[in-house]
Amino acid sequence: MYFKQFLHDETGCASYFIASRQSREAAVVDPQYDIQPYLDLAEERHYRITHVIDTHLHADHVSGNRRLAAATGAGLYLHEQADVLFPFIPLRDGDELHLGQLILRVVHTPGHRPEAISLLVINPPRSPEPSMVLSGDTLFVGDVGRPDFGGVEGAAQEYASIQRLLKLEDWVEVFPAHFEGACGKGMCGRPSSTIGFERRYNPVLQLSHDDFLRFAADVPARPLNMSAILATNRGEGDYAWAMPRDSVEVPSISPAEAPAWLQERQALVLDVREPGEYAAGHVPGALSIPQADLALRLDEVPRDREVLVVCQSGGRSLKAAKFLKHLGYNRVVNLEGGTLGWIKAGHPVERSEPAAAR
C-alpha cells in the first residue's frame, strides 16, 4: 500500500491519499479545495484517483471533493445522511470500498455531525484486521470533535461513536481530519496516535459518561464563515472566497486607547462573537455579526469608515479582521484583548436580551 498524510497548516486540517501499489488505484479522503497536490502526487507516482471521500460536511474549509472527482472521474462518496444538493455515492455503516487488495471499511460515527464516518484501513496481505483508522472529526489526538449542531443529543451520539472506535485494538493507528483548529480545544498537535494511547491518555476519554455529555454539549464558537462554507459544501452556492486568510496584516489597538480612537473616527464597532456572548455584555453601540455569518452579511460592514473588530479576547476578531482586509476592507482594526480587555480597562458595557438560538 501507499499512504500519505497531508497537513494543512492554515486550517489545521489533515487529508489523506491511500493507494494500492498493485492496482494503482487511490482514494483521497477529506481533500482540500486546492486539489493540485493530489493530482501531482497521483501523476508522479502513477496512481489513478478512483475514490474521493469526505468523512463529513466540513464547516471550516471548502472541500475539494467535487473538483477532484470532476478532474479525475473518481466516484464521490459521502455517508448516506449527507444533506447535499449534488449527486454522490452513498455510504452505509459496514460498507467496504476496495482499492486493489486494500479495504476501506465504513464506520458510521455520528455526533460531530449526523453524517460523520470513520474509515478503517485493512491491508489483507499484512493482516485481516484494521491497522489504521481515519477518524475524521470524531476522535482527535488528545481531544474529540464537538457536536456542531447536536447539543446534548449530539454529545450522546458522539459518546457512543467514540466508544465504538475505542473497541478497536490498541495498535490501531489513529489519523484524524484535524491536528489543530477550531473543531476541538485540546488537540495536542501531533498528527497521529494510536487507539491504545488515546484510550489511556486522551483526557476527554477519561471523563465519566455524564461528564463527557456536559463537556461535549458545551460547544465552542462556530468557525469563521461557517454558514458560507457549509452552504458551499452542500452545493447551495459558491463561496469558496470565504475561506479564512491568514496572510495579511491588520493593525491592533489596546483597550486603553480604544474609546478615544472610536470617538475621534466615529468608527463602527463590529462584535463577531456568538449572539449569547454579545447579549451578555458588549461595547456600547456594537453591531453584532457572529463570525460564522460574516461572509453572508458583508453588506452590513462599511468600507468608508473605520471598523473596530471585537471578540471575547482578541483571537477570533483578528482572524475576522484579516478576512475583511483580504476582501479590500482597508479600514479594519482589531481590538487587542477583546471585550474582556475592554471590561478590564474599566470601560462600560451594554447588555441586551439573549438571542433565542445560536
Instruction: List residues with catalytic annotation.
Output: 311
Beta bridge partners of 17: 4, 28
- Write each residue from 290 to 319 as x if it is in contact with Fe ion (CB under 5 A), else as -, in one continuous string: ------------------------------
Cα Rg, the chain, nearest whole Å? 22
Residues 6+ apart with CB under 8 A from 345: 255, 256, 258
Query: Smallest distance from the beta carbon of 238 to Fe ion, in angstroms?
Result: 20
Query: Smallest distance from the beta carbon of 223 to Fe ion, in angstroms?
Result: 9
- Using the contact rule CB under 5 A, the part of the chain among 21-29, 137-145, 276-284, 309-317 near Fe ion is 137-145
Query: Smallest distance from the beta carbon of 332 to Fe ion, in angstroms?
Result: 27
Query: Smallest distance from the beta carbon of 58 to Fe ion, in angstroms?
Result: 5
Number of residues interacting with Fe ion: please give it, by CB under 5 A. Answer: 2
Nearer of residues 133 and 183 to Fe ion, judged by Cβ: 183
- Provide the pairing of β-strand 173-176 with 193-194: antiparallel
Find the Cα–Cα–Cα–Cα dihedral 222, 228, 233, 236, rounded to 10°.
Answer: 140
Nearer of residues 99 and 183 to Fe ion, judged by Cβ: 183
Buried b (16+ CB within 10 A) or exposed e, 261-289: bbeeeebbbbbbbbbebbbeebbeebbbb
Q: How many CB atoms lie within 10 A of CB 28?
A: 32
Nearer of residues 183 and 187 to Fe ion, judged by Cβ: 183
Helical packing angle, 65-72 and 36-45, nearest 10°: 40
Residue holding cell 455531525? Answer: 113
Query: Smallest distance from the beta carbon of 205 to Fe ion, in angstroms?
Result: 19
- Using the contact rule CB under 5 A, the part of the chain among 26-34, 77-85, 130-138, 297-305 near Fe ion is 130-138
- Write each residue from 250 to 289 as x if it is in contact with Fe ion (CB under 5 A), else as -, in one continuous string: ----------------------------------------
**115 is an interface residue for Fe ion by CB under 5 A:** no
**137 is an interface residue for Fe ion by CB under 5 A:** yes
Query: Smallest distance from the beta carbon of 356 to Fe ion, in angstroms?
Result: 25
Calculate ∠ Cα 355-357-358, nearest 5°: 95
Calculate ∠ Cα 245-247-252, nearest 5°: 95
Residue holding cell 469526505? Answer: 54
- Write each residue from 23 to 62 as x if it is in contact with Fe ion (CB under 5 A), else as -, in one continuous string: ----------------------------------------
Helix (H, G, I), strand (E, B) or coil at 328: coil
- Write each residue from 175 to 194 as x if it is in contact with Fe ion (CB under 5 A), else as -, in one continuous string: --------x-----------
Note the residues at the interface with Fe ion (CB under 5 A): 137, 183
